[in-house]
């Protein structure tokens, strides 16, 4: 069964994850998939990404002609769709897994612990350990189990308009180790923000195409903070730490104090993505998922560079954004599903992904391959992509993160609108988040 895919935002996805308990309490989990022998693969993808996925599936079919794969494309709410399938006894065999929501599924027994399969396949396990990025692999380790294998890195960095930078005489770093400081980034943002005679901004220095309260948190991480501790099943957030608060305040001030970034009111008529694509913004924060959109834009000459870092940090970082592939615990086709995971997340499938240019692969030989470079000929600073995973800070792994997400939306939102100072997070966000984490 194929369904038209519609991208969903992180907020809606995590809210759906917050309803896991209620959703799975309806009917008991039963057998998965259809009654034929096809392996069902559930994933979310933008229209451009579907072709890349199919190239991987077609190559798998060529090498494994006895295993048929039926794709199930996600609708606008992938988490709820998965829950509906699984609760109704039609759980797909292979499931796309997201770094901040898979733990809820794993905690409730929906996902198979892959440890036994890895132990029974020592040659692949050794190859996986040698070739994969450890930080991404460890993202899918939860309560002693391995619940997915990573397939792509989707951390954030900066896209920048080469034409606008050249006009202003501003060079951009080509490596993470050469990143700007917060102060330098602000100066550049000011230099690249232009206003007409009436004072109306006609060109922004910086826009954000990610989720603003997560972006503010990433600026905090780039100021030397952490999200929470420990990384897996954390019992304490970092929302009350000075480094976190100062990083969030700097991000908020870019719009509300310094005027180098748009406020929410400024993006009502045109999205931040369109502002950058149309040459109305010099820098845009986002991940590789924006690459195809920007490369297809008319007359947009762009490159990528590192995020800035603050005075409490030792250097610039991205975030470990990643998706992986998991197997349904109730799948009757676990052996076939395991072969598909090994292929898609191993050297051959990752090489195919690298050549499509749609994802940043997690297999180190693939991300450093000629195929990946050939798919990004308009990018000069390729090290920002190839070196991104190693420069990424981990996101917390918690079955209750959907509740933390809702709290961030509630309390960080007013800070980003300029209605409250970031110091308010100490007495509002931090204690409520810590209570959730202590009681998970």
The answer on 207 and 275 residing in a single domain is yes
The answer on 137 and 194 residing in a single domain is no
For residue 373, being part of any structural domain is answered with: no
Is 184 within 8 Å of 308 (Cβ atoms)? yes
Q: What does the pLDDT read at residue 108? A: 87
Count of structural domains, the chain: 2
The span from the CA of 29 to the CA of 332, in Å, is 13
H-run or E-run covering 407: helix 401-416
Is 337 within 8 Å of 327 (Cβ atoms)? yes
Q: What does the pLDDT read at residue 87? A: 80
Q: What is the residue range of 284's domain?
A: 157-319+398-438
The span from the CA of 30 to the CA of 330, in Å, is 7
Q: What does the pLDDT read at residue 143? A: 94
Q: What does the pLDDT read at residue 53? A: 87
Q: Would you tell me how many other CB atoms lie within 10 Å of the CB of residue 108? A: 18
For residue 384, being part of any structural domain is answered with: no
For residue 141, being part of any structural domain is answered with: yes
For residue 14, being part of any structural domain is answered with: yes
Q: What does the pLDDT read at residue 156? A: 97
Residues 6+ apart with CB under 8 A from 392: 135, 153, 155, 317, 318, 319, 320, 321
Q: What does the pLDDT read at residue 80? A: 79
Question: Which one, of 396, 422, 334, 400, lies nearest residue 138 by Cα?
Answer: 396
The answer on 305 and 207 residing in a single domain is yes
Residues 6+ apart with CB under 8 A from 252: 216, 415, 416, 418, 422
Residues 6+ apart with CB under 8 A from 310: 181, 182, 219, 222, 223, 224, 243, 246, 247, 250
For residue 161, being part of any structural domain is answered with: yes
Q: What does the pLDDT read at residue 78? A: 81
The answer on 205 and 141 residing in a single domain is no
Q: What does the pLDDT read at residue 269? A: 83
The answer on 278 and 422 residing in a single domain is yes
The answer on 309 and 174 residing in a single domain is yes
The answer on 161 and 96 residing in a single domain is no
The answer on 342 and 292 residing in a single domain is no
The answer on 138 and 161 residing in a single domain is no
For residue 386, being part of any structural domain is answered with: no
The answer on 176 and 147 residing in a single domain is no
The answer on 239 and 351 residing in a single domain is no
Q: Would you tell me how many other CB atoms lie within 10 Å of the CB of residue 348? A: 16
H-run or E-run covering 20: helix 20-24
What is the CATH number for 415?
A: 3.40.190.10
Q: What does the pLDDT read at residue 239? A: 98
The answer on 247 and 144 residing in a single domain is no
**What's phi and psi for 135, nearest 5 deg?**
-65, -35
Question: Which one, of 20, 139, 13, 108, lies nearest residue 397 by Cα?
Answer: 139
The span from the CA of 364 to the CA of 396, in Å, is 23
For residue 132, being part of any structural domain is answered with: yes
For residue 3, being part of any structural domain is answered with: no
- Strands 194-195, 201-203: pairing is antiparallel
Q: What does the pLDDT read at residue 338? A: 98
Q: What is the mean pLDDT of each run of 10 residues along the chain (440 residues)?
A: 36 45 34 65 83 90 95 82 82 93 91 97 94 91 96 96 96 95 98 95 97 97 96 95 98 98 90 96 96 92 98 94 95 97 95 92 93 95 95 92 95 97 98 95
């Amino acid at each position: 069964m194929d369904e038209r895919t519609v991208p969903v935002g992180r907020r809606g996805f995590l809210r759906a994850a917050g309803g896991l308990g209620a959703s799975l309490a309806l009917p008991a989990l039963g057998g998965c998939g259809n009654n034929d022998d096809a392996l069902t693969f559930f994933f979310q993808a933008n229209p451009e990404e579907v072709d890349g996925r199919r190239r991987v599936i077609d190559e798998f079919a060529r090498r494994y002609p006895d295993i048929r794969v039926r794709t199930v494309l996600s609708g606008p709410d992938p988490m709820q769709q998965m829950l509906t399938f699984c609760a109704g006894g039609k759980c797909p065999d292979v499931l796309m897994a997201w770094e901040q929501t898979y733990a809820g599924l794993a905690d409730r027994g929906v996902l198979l612990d892959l440890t036994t399969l890895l132990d029974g396949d020592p040659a692949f396990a050794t190859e996986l350990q040698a070739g994969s990025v450890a930080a991404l692999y460890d993202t899918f380790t939860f309560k002693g189990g391995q619940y997915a294998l990573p397939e792509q890195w989707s951390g954030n960095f900066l896209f920048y308009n080469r034409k606008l930078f050249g006009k202003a005489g501003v060079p951009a770093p080509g490596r993470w180790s050469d990143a700007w400081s917060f102060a330098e980034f602000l100066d550049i943002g000011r230099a690249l923000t232009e206003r007409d005679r009436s004072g109306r901004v006609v060109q922004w220095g910086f826009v954000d195409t990610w989720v603003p309260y997560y972006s503010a948190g990433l600026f905090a991480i780039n100021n030397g903070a952490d999200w929470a501790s420990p990384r897996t099943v954390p019992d304490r957030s970092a929302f009350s730490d000075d480094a976190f608060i100062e990083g969030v305040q700097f991000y908020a001030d870019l719009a509300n104090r310094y005027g180098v970034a748009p406020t929410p009111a400024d993006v009502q008529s045109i999205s931040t993505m369109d502002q950058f694509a149309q040459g109305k913004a010099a820098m845009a924060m986002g991940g590789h998922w924006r690459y195809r959109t920007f490369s297809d834009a008319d007359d947009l000459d762009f490159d990528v560079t590192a995020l800035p870092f603050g005075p409490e940090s030792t250097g610039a970082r991205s975030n470990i954004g990643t998706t992986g592939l998991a197997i349904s615990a109730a799948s009757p086709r676990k052996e076939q599903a395991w072969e598909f995971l090994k292929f898609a997340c191993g050297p051959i499938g990752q090489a195919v992904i690298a050549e499509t240019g749609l994802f940043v692969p997690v297999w180190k030989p693939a991300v450093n391959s000629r195929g990946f470079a050939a798919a990004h000929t308009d990018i000069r600073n390729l090290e920002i992509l190839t070196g991104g995973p190693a420069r990424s800070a981990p996101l917390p792994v918690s079955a209750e993160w959907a509740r933390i997400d809702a709290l961030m939306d509630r309390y960080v939102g007013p800070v980003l609108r300029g209605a409250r100072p970031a110091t308010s997070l100490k007495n509002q966000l931090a204690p409520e988040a810590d209570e959730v984490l202590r009681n998970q």
